[in-house]
Structure 1
């Protein structure tokens, strides 16, 4: 098939482009001119320069495309005004949907996030759990997801929504801080550590995307793609510590002061373009549970995670260790 991937220069998008190319598909990736594209080019992937916010740049990219994987997103980080999230996750998604409709794209795979469900008070949540976003990233991702489903209902665009759990694996840099702080014995748990966390190994997630593109039953549906198990933060940090050969984190601090300090520190640091040492999304990691039922993906798509959490942690830690990132 001819596949088009937005967000192809990112961690997940790059892994998806690689798998598609390895399977013999023709792969085209959207990239901004400032993005690093050498690795994608080396894999035989065609690069189209453009931006999801610029609809005119999307039309040449979607000519003769069979399957479109829309992964482009702005992940939560301090310093970006709210309208940027709106422009990328909502307006950018609408641009993608409109051009896909115009060009007759046969399948539109939209990457959302489990974050649209926010804190899971009665785990595990599933695809029918009501929306409950908790920040601007989650709110705008929710609106982008709703747009995609609306194009299916009202305009018959063959859309499938994939909601990944927390993505990790070799090459991922977002989990590095957690692994490194545990390796150095510096990780502090805020609160009880009994909130839940649900991850998905990168290879399993890519399989989920491809199954969503292949199965006709997936059209018009939402699928949560996660690992086989979710664990508490205490369990997760203990598993990482054991793999690294260090003692598990034992220090717990009350979470309330940090919940109060987060917005205050952000209000001082963000105008100065300084990354806040404490901010709300990091505190949310300790206070908001993430636990999901993946049975719909198993039933409809034949999805079956191949990497248990222990194996995934080991492979990720090994990748960090080999590159000296844990020193």
Structure 2
């Protein structure tokens, strides 16, 4: 019998590749959404879409009926927000299924997350991981590096704008490569109750990755770095997200070590280059939408 899985955050940028892989592998996929029409517009027709809200435990209980796996792909709001999906949502899901310890709880987190990491959402991610580990459920925690899916989000017409120099390399991963490894983990109980670092094969600086993306996506695109000070001014005038300056400033100082050898030994190496990623989004039509820097 095919496994039944509930995906929360299914129609997000990083949720959609996972759902496509699950469907391809024959999973029975149920997606929880507050906006079912939006979800149905971007998810495969095989997916069962149910209305629910992370704030409403009764809706979570109903959505989790008869599932064997719950996968959490949650948004991170400011820590001062009255409800934080990343942390409060995770805790509500655990409450909803506290009497069903057989359910595998899987969650996407962040690469290199520590409790005291100077990153806007690190505390919430770390605390959510700890809640899952201590819940008594079998669990999987994935800690991916930066996704290739972030690159289209920096497009402004024929400009790709980013802030600062960002001199250090990152091991970029495509959403579909991540999804392939994740779905393999769901089918390997021997891998459960572990945390997996997920990194791609090629280490590139942001500029190197952006130039390759631009050349493959549209050679007319120009890649331009703006000063961090300009981004700070944009935040002040509410032309950029409130956390944008801090996030970009930290990104300019991140050195990412390679820590995915064990993952590769268990699941195989990632396969997709940036050029492969561009081909995939052209093929699927699933091109992440831009946002403010």
Structure 2 residue runs of 5 or longer lacking an equivalent are none
1:306 equivalenced with 2:271 (yes/no): yes
**Structure with greater helix share of residues:** 1
Equivalent pair of 1:53/1:95 in contact (CA under 8 Å): yes
Which secondary structure does the structure 2 equivalent of 1:37 belong to? helix
How far 1:265 moved relative to its partner? 5.3
Superposed CA deviations along residues 52-82 of structure 1, whole A, max 9, x for unmatched, are 22222110111111111111223xxxxx653
User: Structure 1 pair 278/58, CA: closer, same or farther in 2 (3 Å)?
Assistant: closer
Instruction: Deviation per CA, 1:232-271: give whole Å up to 9, x if none.
Output: 234223323443435975x76765x45xx72x6545539x
Structure 1 equivalent of residue 125 of structure 2: 141
Q: 1:112 to 1:86 in 2, by over 3 A?
A: farther
In the superposition, the TM-score normalised over structure 2's length comes to 0.81
The answer to whether residue 211 in structure 2 is matched with residue 238 in structure 1 is yes
Query: Where in structure 1 are there 5+ consecutive unaligned residues?
Result: 75-79, 118-129
Q: Who is 1:279 aligned against?
A: 245
Note closer, same or farther for the CA distance 1:268–1:313 as it changes in structure 2 (3 Å cut): same
Report the alpha carbon displacement of residue 162 of structure 1 after superposing the two structures with TM: 0.7
Counterpart Cα distance in 2 of 1:14 and 1:242: 25
The CA RMSD over aligned residues, in Å, is 3.5
Cα distance in 2, alignment partners of residues 66 and 164 from structure 1: 23
Answering whether residue 75 of structure 2 is matched by residue 73 of structure 1, we say yes
- Say whether residues 1:101 and 2:107 are aligned partners: no
2:25 paired residue number:
23
Distance (whole Å) between structure 2 residues aligned to residue 67 and residue 277 of structure 1: 33
Equivalence map 1:1-327=2 (5 Å): 1-33=3-35, 36-39=38-41, 43-74=45-76, 81-84=78-81, 87-114=84-111, 116-117=112-113, 131-151=115-135, 155=136, 157-168=137-148, 172=149, 174-180=150-156, 183-184=158-159, 187=161, 190-191=164-165, 193-243=166-216, 244-245=218-219, 249=223, 255=228, 257=229, 262=232, 266=235, 269=238, 275=241, 279-299=245-265, 301-313=266-278, 315-316=280-281
Q: What is aligned with 1:127?
A: none
TM-score (norm 1): 0.73
What is the count of residue pairs matched by the alignment? 287
8 A contact 2:11–2:43 mirrored in 1:
no
Distance in structure 2 (CA, Å) of the matches to 1:6 and 1:175:
24
Larger-gyration structure (1/2): 1
Following the alignment from structure 1 to structure 2, what is the Cα–Cα distance between the partners of residues 188 and 13? 24
* Change in 2 beyond 3 A, CA 1:247/1:205: closer
- Alignment check: 8 A CA contact 1:64 1:105 kept: no
Distance 1:21 1:13 in 2: 12
